[in-house]
């Protein structure tokens, strides 16, 4: 499929210094939920997409410089990411259990990204988002921001939706980031954002973050709750179980069976890569069913390697048949 110009996508969020164990050694790299999605989206679409990461890093530290280099190596651009003096990136460590499930420890209380929409450059950054075809962010993108930065971002996103920019939102609900009453604190922000989104991704249990108690696909109130979110398309990521897609424009619900999945080595970025694969598929005009299958194929490869961003040479070329020669 040929395009007159690349699909311009802005991805908002936080990239952190990542530590994980590999072969008995501690390995340092970089990762973050939306950065992972940005990297895999760029890798899936190649020259058919231009991905900008909207974030903040330190102005002079070595880790921030190396982080920006890492983004560029992943095909992710940084012209909308601010460099803030006196700040540093956050850090997280991954511990993977015998089943491949990951557990995180974080150090991010003073991370550069937290107040990035309160800086002198913030208005300029937010205004430039109107030039993009799509903007993607997650629940973590919202949670790590100071309240004033969060409010300024949400107002900007509502304006972008009115202008016709396609918004996508991955719940990625992390209770520890939302204070002593996580669901109550997160719900107003999540509901506000989902109303203006084209695509929303979540797991069944994450529906609590939008203020609903029906967190099982078999619950009679589950589908009505998804419809109330207001997004044009809601995609339920449910691990290795069938994926549910609700299109609120047509009223149709699809249950998509997934192929077999090998025993995972590390589930880090499984959901993030799935989101990237789905967004790539809808950009190429594929059906919801095909989007799920291709997204699942990518995620199935990601979980077989340690860390968030797997080597390019082992990443399946899921959309090679869609790209222009």
Distance CA 213, CA 219 (A): 10
Question: Given pLDDT bands bounded at 50, 70 and 90, which one contains residue 222?
Answer: very high
pLDDT in tens, 125-178: 999 999 999 999 999 999 999 999 999 999 999 999 999 999 999 999 999 999
pLDDT in tens, 272-283: 999 999 999 999
Distance CA 20, CA 96 (A): 9
Q: Would the pLDDT of 23 be above 80? A: no
Q: Provide the pLDDT for residue 1.
A: 46
Mean pLDDT value across the chain = 92
CATH number, domain 7-313: 3.40.1190.20
Distance CA 271, CA 117 (A): 26
Token pair for 173: 């609900």
| 170 in active site | no
Q: Provide the pLDDT for residue 102.
A: 66
Based on its alpha-carbon atoms, the radius of gyration of the chain, rounded to whole angstroms, reads 18
Question: Given pLDDT bands bounded at 50, 70 and 90, which one contains residue 66?
Answer: very high
3-state SS of 160-207 is HHHCCCEEEEECCCCHHHCCCCHHHHHHHHHHHHHCCCCEEEECHHHH
- The residue annotated as part of the active site, out of 218, 272, 313, 325, is 272
Question: Given pLDDT bands bounded at 50, 70 and 90, which one contains residue 188?
Answer: very high
Is the distance from CB of 195 to CB of 158 less than 8 angstroms? no
Q: Would the pLDDT of 227 be above 60? A: yes
Q: Would the pLDDT of 28 be above 50? A: yes
pLDDT in tens, 85-111: 999 999 988 777 776 666 778 888 889
Distance CA 117, CA 13 (A): 12
Distance CA 186, CA 193 (A): 11
Sign of CA dihedral 142, 203, 9, 89: positive
Which residues neighbour 142 within 8 Å (Cβ) at sequence distance 6 or greater? 150, 153, 154, 186, 189, 190, 193
Nearest to 45 by CA among 304, 310, 285: 285
Is the distance from CB of 13 to CB of 35 less than 8 angstroms? yes
Q: Provide the pLDDT for residue 273.
A: 96
Per-residue DSSP letters for 26-81? EEEEEE-HHHHHHHHHHHHHGGGEEEEEE-EEESS-HHHHHHHHHHHHTTEE-TT-
Is the distance from CB of 132 to CB of 9 less than 8 angstroms? yes
pLDDT in tens, 241-261: 889 999 999 989 999 988 776
Question: Given pLDDT bands bounded at 50, 70 and 90, which one contains residue 217?
Answer: confident
Measure Cα distances from 174 to 33, 104, 154, 163 in Å.
11, 11, 19, 30
Q: Provide the pLDDT for residue 269.
A: 87
Q: Would the pLDDT of 4 be above 60? A: no
Is the distance from CB of 172 to CB of 205 less than 8 angstroms? no
Q: Is the pTM of this model over 0.75?
A: yes
Q: Provide the pLDDT for residue 2.
A: 45
Q: Provide the pLDDT for residue 109.
A: 80
* Mean pLDDT, range 51-57, rounded to an integer: 98
């Amino acid at each position: 499929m040929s395009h007159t110009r690349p699909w311009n996508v802005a991805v908002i969020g936080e990239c952190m210094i990542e530590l994980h164990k590999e072969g008995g050694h501690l390995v340092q790299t970089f990762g973050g939920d939306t950065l992972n999605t940005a990297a895999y989206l760029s890798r899936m679409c190649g020259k058919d997409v231009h991905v900008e990461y909207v974030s903040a890093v330190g102005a002079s530290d070595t880790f921030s410089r190396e982080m920006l280099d890492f983004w560029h190596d992943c095909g992710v651009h940084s012209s909308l990411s601010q460099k803030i003096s006196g700040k540093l990136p956050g850090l997280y460590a991954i511990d993977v259990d015998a089943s491949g499930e990951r557990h995180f420890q974080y150090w991010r209380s003073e991370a550069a990204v937290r107040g990035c929409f309160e800086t002198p450059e913030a208005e300029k950054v937010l205004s430039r988002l109107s030039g993009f075809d799509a903007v993607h962010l997650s629940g973590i993108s919202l949670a790590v921001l100071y309240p004033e930065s969060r409010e300024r971002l949400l107002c900007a996103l509502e304006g972008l939706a009115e202008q016709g920019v396609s918004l996508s939102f991955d719940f990625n609900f992390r209770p520890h980031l939302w204070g002593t009453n996580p669901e109550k604190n997160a719900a107003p922000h999540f509901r506000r954002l989902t109303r203006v989104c084209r695509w929303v991704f979540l797991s069944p249990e994450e529906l609590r973050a939008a203020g609903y108690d029906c967190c099982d696909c078999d619950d009679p109130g589950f589908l009505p709750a998804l419809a109330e979110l207001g997004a044009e398309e809601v995609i339920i990521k449910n691990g290795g179980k069938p994926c549910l897609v609700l299109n609120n424009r047509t009223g149709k619900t699809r249950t998509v069976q997934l192929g077999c999945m090998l025993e995972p080595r590390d589930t880090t970025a499984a959901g993030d890569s799935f989101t990237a694969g789905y967004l790539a598929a809808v950009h190429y005009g594929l059906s919801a069913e095909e989007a799920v299958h291709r997204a699942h194929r990518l995620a199935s490869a990601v979980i077989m390697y340690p860390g968030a961003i797997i080597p390019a040479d082992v990443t399946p070329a899921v959309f090679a048949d869609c790209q222009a020669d």
